[in-house]
Amino acid sequence: MDSNNCSGINLIGLSSSLAILIGEQFDADDLAILAAFVTSLGDNLALLAATKGNL
């Protein structure tokens, strides 16, 4: 069952807008750490989704 009403285009626009807003607030070192954290979070969520029900 798909209960998500967000289209891919809307998600791309949202993520781009957030990246620009966040990028203006922090220096390069802080952005690198935040990017690594968000990447790790996404990877872990993908792993949990792929194994959901198999744990």
Which tens digit of pLDDT belongs to each residue from 1-55?
Answer: 455 667 889 999 999 999 999 999 999 999 999 999 999 999 999 999 999 977 6
In which domain, by residue range, is 40 found? 26-55
Count of domains observed in the chain: 1
Contacts (Cβ under 8 Å, ≥6 apart) of 22: 31, 34
In a domain, 21, yes or no: no
DSSP state of 18: H
pTM for the full model?
0.73
Category of 42 on φ-ψ map: left (φ > 0), alpha (ψ -120 to 50) or beta:
alpha
Residue 2 domain-assigned?
no
Q: How high is the pLDDT of residue 55?
A: 60
